């Protein structure tokens, strides 16, 4: 079927795919849980960035504190993948969500009683690290539990719709986050905590349990599980290049400090404009994920992957050079579209080609690579402070594109997908 004919039949495909997905009763709980988790993440990242920049006026400090949680995720991801293959994913999900809610509540209280100030901003470092560790345990189970609920045949549609639903949060949350930051830094974190509690309740309501659990897996060392997962992924002709491509996320993260600096210092705008810029990215991500939801497997994964890189990286460059708020918003929309294509296509490809007993560990390696995105906050903040917005976005975008081109060209198996 050609693409133009497929596009013409969008409404029919959307209705058919929605009907199939929501005939699975537990799926609706996963959708709501993902929306709350993503909204909480969005508000937390933008709140931390604005708070640190406001209190310290240092791009490096802003980048450092926002990158700390990424260190926790990367450090714990391999264990999170092994836990996902070894223990009940349903329980891991609601326990980690409640734990993140508790840390967010503590952060809000510390802000309310003025414990966190310009001189004590370092307190955010251990709090961010703990949240990163919890996400390192949570993320592999979050991805692989979708397969337990819907099966591999509906995975593309499920992940696409999850992304569509989550990007609704990405549209609403930044605007809401801007209002919350304006009302009070502590209020932002109280709201974040309530979102995570709601997400935990949604997971607790799910009746599905993990379909695959190796009966003797607990008898062997968890470090052996991790080693087996790493070797499996390195030797796999499709998983290996996909993980290499995922490393480019660090360059995607390097543009993140540019956003508040561009809005606050370069364009001279306020918190709400910061929120609107991120919301534009959410609208782009929503449109991209709806397109993928409708097309399903009708377009080659390789084409979607290439389009995602082009859309995202060109959008980053335009944003860095944007002379006004309108163009920066349009560039943010473009980045969101590319980002959505990436966040649907790569995880689906990995889970489709990974064996059931290895899915958790493969996904954990994906998170280790993709969450170098948060480490990019630190490097991006440092480069931004030492050079300029324009140099930062050019360096990040061109580095990302070059690695992607080299990997795709050198992998015959990947080009067949």
Q: Is the pLDDT of residue 102 over 90?
A: yes
Sign, Cα dihedral of 247, 248, 249, 250: positive
The residue ranking higher by pLDDT, 245 or 163, is 245
The C-alpha angle with vertex 379 and arms to 404 and 69, in degrees rounded to 5, equals 95
Give the rounded percent of residues in the chain with a pLDDT score beyond 70: 82
Distance CA 39, CA 109 (A): 20
Number of residues that make up the chain? 417
- pLDDT, mean of residues 77-88: 80
Q: How many CB atoms lie within 10 A of CB 388?
A: 14
Q: What is the biggest distance separating any 2 CA atoms in the chain, rounded to whole angstroms?
A: 62
Stretch 37-47: mean pLDDT: 80
**3 state SS for the chain:** CCHHHHHHCHHHHHHHHHHHHHCCCCHHHHHHHHHHHHHHHHHHHHHHHHHHHHHHCCHHHHHHHHHHHHHHHHHHHHHHHHHHHHCCHHHHHHHHHHHHHHHHHHHHHHHHCCCCCCCCHHHHHHHHHHHHHHHHHHHHHHHHHHHHHHCHHHHHHHHHHHHHHHHHHHHHHHHHHHHHHHHCHHHHHHHHHHHHHHHHHHHHCCCCCCCCCCCCHHHCCHHHHHHHHHHHHHHCCCHHHHHHHHCCHHHHHHCCCHHHHHHHHHCCCCHHHHHHHHHHHHHHHHHHHHHHHHHCCCCCHHHHHHHHHHHHHHHHHHHHHCCCHHHHHHHHHHHHHHHHHHHHHHHHHHHHHCCHHHHHHHHHHHHHHHCHHHHHHHHHHHHHHHCCHHHHHHHHHHHHHHHHHHHHHHCHHHHCC
Q: How far is CA 411 from CA 110, 199, 380, 405, 407, in A?
A: 50, 39, 29, 10, 6
Neighbours of 347 (CB within 10 A): 24
Cα angle: 375, vertex 178, 130; to 5 degrees: 35
pLDDT mean over 57-74? 76
Average pLDDT over residues 388-403: 87
Q: What are phi and psi of 23, to 5 degrees?
A: -75, -15
Question: By mean pLDDT, which of 52-61, 98-107, 192-201 is the weakest?
Answer: 52-61
Residue 214 has pLDDT above 60, yes or no: no
pLDDT for 98 equals 92
pTM: predicted TM-score of the whole model, two decimal places: 0.63
- Please count the CA atoms within 13 angstroms of the CA of 350 that sit on its side-chain side: 34
- pLDDT value at position 87? 79
What's the CATH number for 11-207+218-415? 1.20.1250.20
Ranked by mean pLDDT, the top range of 127-131, 146-150, 306-310, 337-341 is 127-131
List pLDDT tens digits, range 119-144.
888 888 888 889 888 988 888 787 77
Which of 286, 304, 284 lies closest to 3 in space, CA to CA?
304
> Could you report the per-residue pLDDT of 168-210, keeping only the tens digit for each?
666 666 667 777 777 778 888 898 898 899 989 988 888 877 6
pLDDT of residue 105: 92
């Amino acid at each position: 079927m050609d693409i133009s004919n497929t596009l013409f039949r969008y409404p029919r495909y959307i209705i058919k795919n929605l009907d199939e997905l929501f005939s699975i009763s537990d799926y609706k709980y996963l959708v709501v849980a993902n929306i709350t988790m993503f909204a909480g993440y969005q508000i937390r990242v933008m709140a931390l960035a604005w708070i640190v920049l406001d209190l310290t006026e240092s791009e490096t400090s802003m980048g450092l504190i926002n990158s700390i949680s990424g260190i926790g995720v990367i450090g714990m991801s391999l264990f999170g993948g092994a836990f996902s293959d070894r223990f009940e994913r349903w329980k891991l999900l609601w326990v980690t969500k409640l734990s993140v809610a508790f840390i967010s509540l503590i952060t809000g209280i510390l802000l309310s009683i003025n414990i966190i100030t310009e001189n004590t901003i370092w307190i955010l470092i251990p709090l961010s690290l703990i949240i990163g560790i919890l996400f390192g345990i949570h993320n592999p189970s979050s991805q692989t539990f979708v397969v337990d609920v819907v099966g591999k045949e509906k995975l593309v549609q499920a992940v696409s719709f999850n992304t569509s639903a989550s990007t609704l949060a990405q549209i609403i949350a930044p605007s809401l986050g801007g209002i919350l930051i304006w009302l009070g830094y502590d209020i932002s974190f109280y709201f974040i905590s309530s979102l995570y509690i709601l997400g935990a309740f949604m997971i607790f309501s799910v009746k599905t349990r993990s379909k695959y659990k190796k009966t003797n897996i607990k008898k062997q060392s968890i470090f052996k599980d991790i080693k087996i997962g790493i070797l499996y992924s390195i030797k796999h002709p499709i998983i290996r290049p996909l993980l290499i491509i995922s490393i480019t996320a660090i360059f995607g993260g390097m543009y993140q400090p540019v956003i508040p600096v561009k809005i606050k210092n370069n364009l001279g705008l306020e918190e709400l404009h910061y929120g609107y810029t991120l919301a534009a990215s959410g609208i782009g991500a929503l449109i991209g994920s709806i397109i993928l939801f409708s097309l399903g497997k009708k377009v080659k994964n390789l084409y979607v992957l290439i389009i995602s890189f082009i859309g995202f990286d060109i959008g980053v460059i335009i944003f860095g050079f944007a002379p006004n708020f309108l163009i920066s918003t349009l560039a943010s929309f473009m980045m969101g579209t590319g980002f959505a294509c990436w966040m649907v296509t790569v995880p689906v490809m990995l889970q489709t080609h990974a064996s059931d007993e290895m899915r958790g560990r493969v996904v954990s390696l994906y998170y280790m690579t993709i969450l170098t995105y948060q480490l990019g906050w630190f490097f991006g903040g440092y480069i931004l402070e030492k050079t300029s917005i324009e140099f930062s976005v050019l360096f990040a975008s061109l580095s990302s594109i070059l690695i992607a081109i080299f990997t795709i060209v050198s992998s015959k198996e990947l080009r067949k997908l």
